[in-house]
Amino acid sequence: MNQKVLLTSKEVNIILNRLACQLIEKHLDFSDTILIGIQPRGTFLAKRLKSILENDYQVSNIKIGFLDITFFRDDFRRTDKPLEANITQIDFLVENKKVIFVDDVLYTGRSIRAALTAIQSFGRPSGIELLTLIDRRFSRDLPIQPDYRGRQVDAINDEKVKVTWAEQGGEDGVFLINNNQ
181 pLDDT more than 60: no
Q: Is residue 156 a contact partner of residue 173, using CB atoms and an 8 Å limit? A: no
| Per-residue model confidence (pLDDT) at position 72 | 79
Q: Is residue 72 a contact partner of residue 41, using CB atoms and an 8 Å limit? A: no
As a whole number, the mean pLDDT across the chain is 91
Q: Is residue 116 a contact partner of residue 137, using CB atoms and an 8 Å limit? A: no
Is the peptide bond preceding residue 82 cis, with omega within 30 degrees of 0?
Answer: no
Of the listed ranges 82-86, 153-157, 172-176, the one predicted with least confidence: 82-86
Give the chain's end-to-end CA distance (angstroms, integer).
6
Q: Is residue 26 a contact partner of residue 98, using CB atoms and an 8 Å limit? A: no
Q: pLDDT for 103-139, tens place per residue? A: 999 999 999 999 999 999 999 999 999 999 999 988 8
| Per-residue model confidence (pLDDT) at position 170 | 85
Mean pLDDT of all residues in 158-170: 90
42 pLDDT more than 60: yes
Nearest Cα neighbor of 12 from 52, 65, 54 is 52
| Per-residue model confidence (pLDDT) at position 103 | 97
Mean pLDDT of all residues in 52-67: 95
Q: What percent of the chain has pLDDT over 70?
A: 91
Mean pLDDT of all residues in 7-13: 97
